[in-house]
Structures are given as C-alpha cells and as structure tokens.
Amino acid sequence: MAQINITDFMKENYKVSDFTHLHWVGTFQDYVDKVTEDPRIARNAFQRIHDMIMAAGETKYTEYKKEITRYHFFDDPIDGGKDAVFGIDVHLMKLANFFKSAAAGYGTEKRVLLLHGPVGSAKSSIARMIKKGLEHYAKTDDGALYTFEWFDEEETDILGGQKIFPSPMHEDPLKLIPVEVRKSFLEEVNKGVDGLKINIKGEVCPADRFIFAKYMEKYDGNWEKVMGHVRVKRLILSEKDRIGIGTFQPKDEKNQDSTELTGDINYRKIAQYGSDSDPRAFNFDGEFNIANRGIVEFIEMLKLDVAFLYDLLGASQEQSIKPKKFAQTHIDEVILGHTNEPEFRKLQNNEFMEALRDRTVKIDVPYITRLDQEVRIYQKDFNAEKIPHVHIAPHTIEMAATWSILTRLEEPKKSDLTKLQKLKLYNGKTLPGYNEDNVKELRKEAVREGLEGISPRYIQDKISNALVKNGHVGCLNPFMVFNELETGLKHHGLINSPDQLDHMKESLAIARQEYEDTVKNDVQKAISVDETAIQTLCANYIDNVKAYTQKEKIRNKYSNKLEDADERFMRSIEEKIDIPESRKEDFRREIMNYIGALAIEGKQFDYKMNERLHRALELKLFEDQKDSIKLTTIISKVVDKETQEKIDVVKSRLIKNHGYCEICATDALNFVASIFAKGDSAKS
C-alpha cells in the first residue's frame, strides 16, 4: 500500500479559501449591501427550495398527449443517483408545483405538505433528497443565506456574561429592522426591481427580541448603536448539526411531549437569569425552532399523538409556534410529513381533525406501474459494478420487476385485454386496437392502481437472498429469483388474506410464463439471427395483406405474373400468434390502418413497432430454420459433432448478442430444449 504524506495531501486537496468563503462574517450594513445586490439572499424557505429544484434543470416529454416535466433534481445528482426516484414524474410535477405556488405566495406556503402512499414507495427518499439538496444548495453562492449573532466585548449581563450569543433560531438579520420603518425600507430597496422583491415577515424569536430591547434601553433607542452589537454570518444548513433542517419521529407517548417541537426551559440557567420566563433561560432547540429558515420532516406524521398534531395547525396556517411561557413566535420553514394509507384513512375518518385536513396538501407517491422505470430501481443495486463476482442473467431483474408491477395493476375491465398486455401498454408497447387515448382511459378507470401490491423493498430483499444462496454458481438466473419470491410470500408481513396470497401467486405464474416465452424468443433469435431475412419476410407479408385488403393482385417476383394474395403464406404467420380464421380480416385491416396512420404523420412502418407481428415473423423464420439444428438433442446427452458445432454457434450468439454468460446460455438452451421436447412428446 502506498504511503501518504497527509500534510502534502491536504495542501493539494483542501482549500482554506473554501472554508473562509462559507464562513463569511460582516456587519449589518455589509449584509444590507449583499441583499440589495442579490435579493435572492433574503428568500423564504419555500422560495429557496423551489429555486433549488429548478436549478438542477428539467426535461420535457409527452406521454398520452400530455406534456410532462422531469425535474433532474429527483435524479439525485448530488449523491450520484443514490436516492433517485423514477417512474412517478406526474406526481413529482405536483410536488414541484406546490413549491412554485408557495414561493409565489399563493397560499400553499400556509399548508402542511403530506406525502401519501404505500410502504416503500419512495416517500422517505423524496424527503431525504430535499433535505440533502437544501444542505448542498445552502453551500453554493446561488443558495447562500445568512443569520446573525450578538456580541459584546464587555461581557455585560445583557448576553448573560458571555461575549457571543448566537441567534437561537438562525433568524434573518433583516428582521432586526423595526416594524414601523419596514414599509419605507422595502419601498426604497425594491424601487425599480422587476424580479424577486425583498420582503420581511415576522419578528425575531423571544431571545433576540429580549436582547434587542435591552440594548435599545441601554442606548436610549439609538438603533445604529444597537446594530454595533450585531455580527452577520453565513448560515450553513446541516441536518446532523440541527441547523435549518429538523426531523421528528413518533416515539413512545410517555417519553415524548410537545417541548420536543417548540423547546423547553433550561433549568440550569434560571439561577443565572432569575426567572423561568427570561427567554435567555429557554432552549429554543425544538424541531420547529432549529428548522427555522429550512425544513422540518415529520416521519410517519399521522402516527403522532393528537397533541403534537395541534402544534402543526398554528405552525402551518399562522406560520408561528408557541414555546412554553412565551408569545407566538414566527417561523419560516417547510413542514413536510409522510404517511401510509391506513393512517391517512384514520385521519379522514376523525371528525375532530378537520382543521388539520383543511391545512394539508396531499401529494400521492404511488408505486411505479411502468416496467422500464421499475427495472431502474433494481439496477441501481444489482449490476456488474456492484456485484462483479456474480453474472446476472438477462431478464432476471426485468422478470422480478414484471411480477411486482403485475401485483399493483387492477384487472382490466375489457375482456380482450390481459393484465400482462396492460403492463406492456403502460410500458409504451403497441397493441392492435389500442392507442394513446385508450391507454389513458385504462389508467383513469384504475383508481387504486399503484396504491397496493408488492413494494420494491421486498424484491430487493429477495434478489439479495438469491445472490447469497446461489452466489457460488457464478450466475443468477430468473428461476432462482422466482423461487425466492414465492418462498418469501408465506412469511410476508403485509399479506393478510388468502385471496391476497392467491393474487400474488397468480401474478408470479404469469411472470414465469412471460419468462418462458422470452427465453424461447432469445433462443429462436439466436437460431434465426438474420434481421434482413425478417425484414424481407415482413415486406412480403405486408404486400400480401395490402393486396388482400384492397382486393388487388400481387406480382410474383419470380414469374412476373399477377396473382391473388398468398392466403397460405399469410396464415402461416398469423397462426404463430394465435390469430383465428374468424379474426384474420380484422387483424389485417388493423395493420393496414396503422400503416396508413403512420404515413399521414410522415412516418414509415417498421415491424418492430407492432410487437405481435414482430413476434409472429420471428417465429415463422425460426420454424423455417429450426430443422437445421435439432434442439431436443441437447437434453438427450447424445449429440453428434455437427449438431454440437451448431449448438455452440447458437450459444455464442446468446453470449454476444443477448448478454448471456456461458452458464446461463447453457441453462437457457437446456430449458428451451426441454420445452420443445415436451411439445414433441405431446404431439406424438
């Protein structure tokens, strides 16, 4: 291991100038100069968080003919995507709009923001990202904010015999401007300003107010001399140091009281100051106090005792709190709570909590119902970089995600649509007879979708178990994960009825069948790998369908004669995807209508756009070529040299083109061979 000279290392990597920049200290006048130069310094907590979200950038895209904004802040750029949230952009838009409205002062700044959703749906991740983002943003020049401290070289009684008395609630220095002159000050300072205007709301906390009053007495109302005892400094928000970011969690009711929110008397200082109503003898260290200028998070908010919820009423609507023995104290902070559905239903049914319901803005944070987004969650933890010693077979993560989403989807009301097809439609695939409007309607009619089902945590736990149990094999395949998922259902704490368990197992059976079809498809592609051949086959089929639907003749490319559409050829493809004779005309018309609609938009048809046709063409090509390699011989253990060479070619294609390794490619071939062997024995 290389030796490190820590002194040289620190000189190269640590800059003292960065520290001094973040710990700027100046006079009250210096601060006023800074604010007039950049009014953003005096933003309130809602404005700061809104600007923080917007500063990370955004991307707009269209889904179901609606423009959606993806805010890059929720990709967690600060921590390299560790807490990134996927698949719920519409709900994150609502969250961003809440902050936008509050920042503009439209009323939502007087509300409790409540994230509501099932367990494991990223509520805590969103809260953690906002807190973490605020810490980071406060260290940038764009997010800079300031507070003040009192200082007195003479160690007078005003500061309790100490030279420095920091503002206990990290108040904005502008609050020291007397209320009676604020209007004139703001008119003067905001003159000619088009954008964000400086605003001063509320008064300083009781301790600062007391000290201010004492100095005003000492200097006979000379405000300028009082400001000589004020030192303005940069405020660095930190959850760990309890500065500007607070977190409150329900505990045992006997060991928790409201002083944890609003502070408590410091009994040791009563002797020094002579009274328990002297604000200097009070610890303004409740979560509401220390979160001033930032955000306070209420974990599982509705599990709190009713006495705590009453504190939220004034804190939200009046933006003030009531510390014991002191007047109402103004706060500037975002109140963010999160809760699950049973607790929220309890709130709805409690007629005594109408006031809190009225002061709450609920943002739903449901489970993801889009497959590719769910896959991204698991790929963060289970990938080659994090697990280099075990290869994860193709479709392993995808199949686990498929099952989790199937458990969250409601049964389609249309009889011609399966739950798996619905999943694929949600994931952007096309099906004949379904366009964007139909899919949008499907989402609308499924009111409870995404609020029930399996949480991502369960999937993560079971993939981890499968890795531990099968890590020695060197490759993790879907069957290993399926077995873990099914075994764990018996002991799952959130499955509380036989019907629920049956629903989970039924969804698992669908996912297993989907994997069987998918792995067969991979092997078939590896055998019939020629994409040009598929395109030629597709062009031939479309020409015949066009001739059939338009009652035209088609020119035979060999004899150059005009002939009727080749019915036998068309049916040989359609039968591969179970299109019955009675439905063939509908299927052919649907394809021609789809091609026509694309042509109007200036787009060209590609067989990959239609999943069913794509599958049919691959199966047809596979059938035409499969006799050149007899898969069933793989499981017979007796394979001649020529067949073995062909099998090795297929295996190498699986490895090269489809992401398999030697182990899972062999497993896939053996599995598909066993399926065909069953099929052959069934036929005989």
Give the pairing of strands 112-116 and 334-339. parallel
Q: Quick one: DSSP state of residue 202? A: S
Measure Cα distances from 209 to 20, 78, 320, 325, 374 in Å.
29, 38, 15, 15, 52
Q: Please give the residue that has the higher pLDDT: either 340 or 478.
A: 478
Residue 617 has pLDDT above 60, yes or no: yes
Question: 261: which residues sit within 8 A by CB, 6+ positions away?
Answer: 248, 286, 287, 288, 308, 311, 321
Give residue 43's identity as a one-letter amino acid code: R
Angle separating helix axes 456-470 and 478-489, nearest 10 degrees: 120
Give the pLDDT mean for 8-16. 78
The predicted pLDDT at position 599 comes to 85
Residue 680 has pLDDT above 70, yes or no: no
Give the pLDDT mean for 233-243. 95
Residue 258: what are its φ and ψ, rounded to 5°? Answer: -65, -15
Q: What is the average pLDDT value for the chain, to the nearest integer?
A: 87
The predicted pLDDT at position 307 comes to 72
Counting Cα atoms < 13 Å in the Cβ hemisphere of 19 gives 4
For 560-609, how does the pLDDT look when each residue is reduced to its tens digit (9 = 90+)? 788 888 888 888 888 888 888 888 888 888 888 888 888 888 888 887 77
Residue 362 has pLDDT above 60, yes or no: yes
State the DSSP H helix or E strand holding residue 248, giving kind and residue range, or none if neither: strand 245-248
The predicted pLDDT at position 552 comes to 87
* CA distance linking residue 210 with residue 444, whole number of Å: 57
The predicted pLDDT at position 681 comes to 46
Q: Kindly indicate the confidence band of residue 682, based on its pLDDT and cuts at 50, 70 and 90.
A: very low
Question: 664: which residues sit within 8 A by CB, 6+ positions away?
Answer: 391, 393, 394, 475, 477
For 86-131, how does the pLDDT look when each residue is reduced to its tens digit (9 = 90+)? 999 999 999 999 999 999 999 999 999 999 999 888 999 999 999 9
Counting Cα atoms < 13 Å in the Cβ hemisphere of 218 gives 17
For 159-171, how does the pLDDT look when each residue is reduced to its tens digit (9 = 90+)? 888 899 999 999 9
The predicted pLDDT at position 156 comes to 77
Give the pLDDT mean for 147-172. 90
Give the pLDDT mean for 427-450. 86
Give the pairing of strands 25-26 and 230-234. antiparallel
Distance of CA 381 to the CA centre of its chain: 15
Residue 556: what are its φ and ψ, rounded to 5°? Answer: -70, 120
* CA distance linking residue 17 with residue 678, whole number of Å: 74
For 213-227, how does the pLDDT look when each residue is reduced to its tens digit (9 = 90+)? 999 999 999 999 999
CA nearest 226: which of 157, 159, 174, 150? 150
* CA distance linking residue 377 with residue 383, whole number of Å: 11
Question: 319: which residues sit within 8 A by CB, 6+ positions away?
Answer: 109, 110, 201, 202, 330, 331, 332
The predicted pLDDT at position 431 comes to 81
Question: 208: which residues sit within 8 A by CB, 6+ positions away?
Answer: 150, 167, 168, 169, 171, 175, 176
pTM (2 decimals)? 0.82
For 260-306, how does the pLDDT look when each residue is reduced to its tens digit (9 = 90+)? 889 998 888 888 888 888 898 899 999 999 999 999 999 988 887 77
The predicted pLDDT at position 459 comes to 94
Residue 63: what are its φ and ψ, rounded to 5°? Answer: -140, 130
* CA distance linking residue 26 with residue 52, whole number of Å: 25
Q: Kindly indicate the confidence band of residue 69, based on its pLDDT and cuts at 50, 70 and 90.
A: very high
Rg of the chain, C-alpha, whole Å = 33
* CA distance linking residue 346 with residue 37, whole number of Å: 50
Annotate 68-132 with three-state secondary structure: EEEEHHHHCHHHCCCCCCCCCHHHHHHHHHHHHHHHCCCCHHHCEEEEECCCCCCHHHHHHHHHH
Question: 594: which residues sit within 8 A by CB, 6+ positions away?
Answer: 430, 432, 605, 609, 610
Residue 684 has pLDDT above 50, yes or no: no
Domains of the chain: 83-138+236-366 (3.40.50.300), 371-501 (no CATH), 528-628 (no CATH)
